[in-house]
Amino acid sequence: MNSIWCCAWGKYKDVDGTDDAGCGLSSSSKGSIDFLITGSVDEPVKVWMYKDREIKLMHKFDHSLGVSSVAINTKGTRCV
């Protein structure tokens, strides 16, 4: 296991009823979703959900090279 090289914290809230959580998340639960995106030298990008004082791995996206940066837009609907 290699160390995390980068991370970004985001918050998604479905304010207009479109349910467009993005970043591999589903906003099936009402309210907002706090999430974390991490990237590392061992290639995967991971999406973690923070809820009830716990962090749970939600998705793992394979990447062909090490990941040195991640970003989330201000609405929490897109990540790169």
Distance of CA 13 to the CA centre of its chain: 14
User: Using CA atoms, how far apart are residues 27 and 15, in angstroms rounded to an integer?
Assistant: 11
Distances in whole angstroms, Cα of residue 1 to Cα of each of 40, 42, 55: 9, 7, 18
**pLDDT tens for residues 17-76?**
555 556 656 555 556 788 888 888 877 888 898 888 899 998 888 877 788 888 888 777
Q: Are 36 and 58 within 8 A, CB to CB?
A: no
pTM of the model: 0.70
pLDDT at 32: 78
pLDDT of residue 56: 92
How far is the C-alpha of 21 from the C-alpha of 50, rounded, in Å? 14
